[in-house]
Structure 1
Amino acid sequence: MLTVLVALLLGLAAGKAWERYKLREGRWIDRRKARESPHYILGLNFLVSNQLDLAIEELTTAAGIDADALEIHLVLGNLFREKGQVTRAIQMHQQLLQRSKLTEAEQAHVLLCLGLDFRRGGFLDRSHEAFAEVLRFDAGNYYALLNLEKLHIEQHQWTEAYAIRERLAALSDPAQRPKHQAILAFLDTQLGLQAIDR
């Protein structure tokens, strides 16, 4: 019994150590190091106070401390997009997709960010592909569906927008039903007008 208890405690200790530390290039790296750095905290403070340039500077420094910190790189890519540096945002998010150990949820999130980058840059076909790829990972991803609907509305693809709004309505709680019915009515009107024009 004592042997089992000692083995259990050793396994627990090893698991906690593995959770916190990672072997990289022959050295053990503290995984929480980037998030506990003053640069990360300052970057978040600057972000909250809408000082994007300073936030980018501090978060870039924090990302240099731990190159594997996915969330820092995601935030940086999103900040680049918000600053209008779409090419940089696309490059950062594409580099994140090259990581071999991303979970499906992480891949879906990075693809969603990439789709927003493409949309902001005017690459509508690539944006559509990225959002569709998110839906292959997670068929009920609300944000991917919403952004696909916006793309279809912008391109006057009313049938596709209507189908997506129906999916969004099915995913939402009943309290949101009037909002969805109003949008579906608008899309139905657009479909009717399109039919008249033909």
Structure 2
Amino acid sequence: MTDTLGLLAVLVALLIGLAVGKAWERYKLRDGRWIDRRKARESPHYILGLNFLVSNQLDLAIEELTKAAGLDVAALEIHLILGNLYREKGQVSKAIQIHQSLLRRSRLTTLEHAHVMLCLGLDFKRGGFVDRAFEAFSEVARLDPENQYALLNLEKLHEEQHQWREAQVLRQRMAEASADSENSRDQAILAFLEN
């Protein structure tokens, strides 16, 4: 009887945990009130925007995603996508403006901050602001030391500036951070950079 009661208590605790987890997935406490995180993503504008994006219709994608972002101004991922789309269209100043406005949010997690900085670094790189791109990618590498994309972009910037030693150091760092450090491609690149 006690075993059955114990098993029943574990089952009830498991169900309560699942319900709380599901509620946490959907809702987030922001500024003292609960926000439905799926509101913008379930919007027809979001779905249409993604469809236009897949169809390579950037102007229409931007238009629809802007409408979706208006439904939930706190939706970080939609604003990131919008900034990236503006960068792809060549509107670098608009992309920088969007990504810098995201950095002013006080409640970004470290990884969210790193991701926004990565996007900003790509904006700066595309706009030809090499020093600012270096700073942004370095900040990402500081916040997220294993961020291969930031390290790769830093490496490319060093190569473009003919700073071969720094590029080699970054390539070694990427090879060490990678689970597959014996990757022949990395080894071949390191051998080339050492010569």
Q: Same fold (TM over 0.5)?
A: yes
Aligned to 2:121: 115
TM-superposed CA distance for 1:13, in Å, is 6.4
Aligned to 1:130: 136
State the AA in 1 paired with 2:183: Q
% identical equivalent positions: 73
Determine the C-alpha separation between the residues in 2 that align with 1:171 and 1:26. Answer: 40
TM-superposed CA distance for 1:27, in Å, is 7.6
C-alpha offsets along residues 63-93 of structure 1, whole Å, 9 cap, x if unaligned? 0000000000000000000000000000100
Instruction: Write out aligned runs for 1:1-198 (5 A).
Output: 20-21=26-27, 29-172=35-178, 173-174=180-181, 176-177=183-184, 179-189=185-195
CA RMSD of aligned residues (A): 2.5
Determine the C-alpha separation between the residues in 1 that align with 2:143 and 2:54. Answer: 31
Unmatched segments (≥5 aa) in structure 2: none
Unmatched segments (≥5 aa) in structure 1: 190-198
C-alpha offsets along residues 7-66 of structure 1, whole Å, 9 cap, x if unaligned? x79998677556534677898653211000000000001111111111000000000000
Aligned to 1:196: none
Determine the C-alpha separation between the residues in 2 that align with 1:97 and 1:118. Answer: 15
State the AA in 1 paired with 2:192: F
C-alpha offsets along residues 113-140 of structure 1, whole Å, 9 cap, x if unaligned? 0000000000000000001101111111
Determine the C-alpha separation between the residues in 2 that align with 1:61 and 1:95. Answer: 18
TM-superposed CA distance for 1:185, in Å, is 2.6
Determine the C-alpha separation between the residues in 1 that align with 2:56 and 2:21. Answer: 39
Going from structure 1 to structure 2, the CA distance change for 1:22 and 1:183 (only over 3 Å counts) comes to closer
Determine the C-alpha separation between the residues in 2 that align with 1:136 and 1:71. Answer: 22
Equivalent residue of 1:125, what SS?
Answer: helix
State the AA in 2 paired with 1:138: D
TM-score by length of 2: 0.84
Going from structure 1 to structure 2, the CA distance change for 1:28 and 1:139 (only over 3 Å counts) comes to closer
State the AA in 2 paired with 1:80: Y
Determine the C-alpha separation between the residues in 2 that align with 1:103 and 1:27. Answer: 19
Determine the C-alpha separation between the residues in 2 that align with 1:188 and 1:29. Answer: 53
